[in-house]
Amino acid sequence: MGQKNKDTAILVFSLSAQLEAERKSLFGKRNKNASKGFFDILIKRTHTIASAAHADVVVFDESQQRGKTFGDRYANAFQELFDLGYRKVLSIGNDTPDLTSEVLEQAVDRIQHNDMVVGPSTDGGIYLLGMRREFFNINEFKALPWLQSTLFHTLVNGVFWKKAKTYYFDELSDIDTAHALHQFLYTTEDAILIEFILNHLSFRTNPAFCPKALFHSNKYSYSFQLRGPPAFSVAA
């Protein structure tokens, strides 16, 4: 087991499951409890993955975030951790179920030798961002097109950001819309999330989705009978 990088922090920057469910109707506007349950699973998984990496873990939900815009809140979270003495900050959210502890541990290693590490998401955004304190510029950071499909393109081609020595990870999907949830179900091999999604989707409102969903249901029905409930540990 490797030693912890004491000058490196993993910033889990996300909303609570309740607020995520209010803003993202993954299972329909009338089924917010299902959305909340889904984000509960993702948040617990994120904490487990983060706590397995060799770095301090700091969680910023809406109770700790400061600022009017997403960019303000995100930039301020990075700045707070740098002000605490961390020289490298890696940030992840809660909506990328394919993110693994191996990827995050590799990111911890890569940020020791790069100005920036970036994990692009399939929608043009990012699921992982790491920066060294020497390269962080809060005004340039706030000016990035946050929550837009041009974010990753800007990080690759922006005048300021091209100065960075950057390591890029493979593209992953994040889940912030019902459409993204459906696409995830078509591609994932995650039996726990497949079971949860199938149990909460209304096939009468998504008839075109039913055949593939039934395929997954049959494929995993036997393994579900043998599988116990998932166990999670939340980072302190």
Convert the pLDDT of each residue in 32-74 to its tens digit.
999 999 999 999 999 999 999 989 999 999 999 999 999 999 9
Task: Establish if 16 belongs to a structural domain.
Answer: yes
**80 and 51 in a common domain:** yes
**147 and 106 in a common domain:** yes
**58 and 21 in a common domain:** yes
pLDDT band at 2 (very low <50, low <70, confident <90, very high): low
Task: Establish if 12 belongs to a structural domain.
Answer: yes
Q: Has residue 1 got a pLDDT over 60?
A: no
**115 and 220 in a common domain:** no
Q: Which DSSP category does 121 fall into?
A: B
**45 and 147 in a common domain:** yes
**100 and 60 in a common domain:** yes
**161 and 53 in a common domain:** yes
Task: Establish if 115 belongs to a structural domain.
Answer: yes
Q: Has residue 216 got a pLDDT over 50?
A: no
Domain count, the chain: 2
Q: Has residue 231 got a pLDDT over 50?
A: no
The residue range of the domain holding 88 is: 5-168
What stretches of the chain show up as alpha helix (H) in DSSP? 17-23, 32-52, 70-83, 101-110, 138-142, 151-157, 178-187, 191-200, 210-226
Task: Establish if 184 belongs to a structural domain.
Answer: no
pLDDT band at 225 (very low <50, low <70, confident <90, very high): very low
| pTM of the entire predicted model | 0.83
pLDDT for the residue numbered 3:
67
Q: Mind listing the pLDDT tens digit for each residue in 168-195?
A: 999 999 998 999 998 898 888 889 999 9
Q: Mind listing the pLDDT tens digit for each residue in 72-110?
A: 999 999 999 999 999 999 999 999 999 999 999 999 999
CA torsion 29-203-187-122 (nearest 10°) is: -30
CATH of the domain at 110: 3.90.550.10
**221 and 157 in a common domain:** no
Share of the chain above pLDDT 70, in %: 84
**43 and 143 in a common domain:** yes
The more confident residue out of 1 and 17 is: 17
pLDDT for the residue numbered 163:
95
- The set of residues, in sequence order, having a beta carbon less than 8 Å from that of 214 and lying 6+ positions away, is none
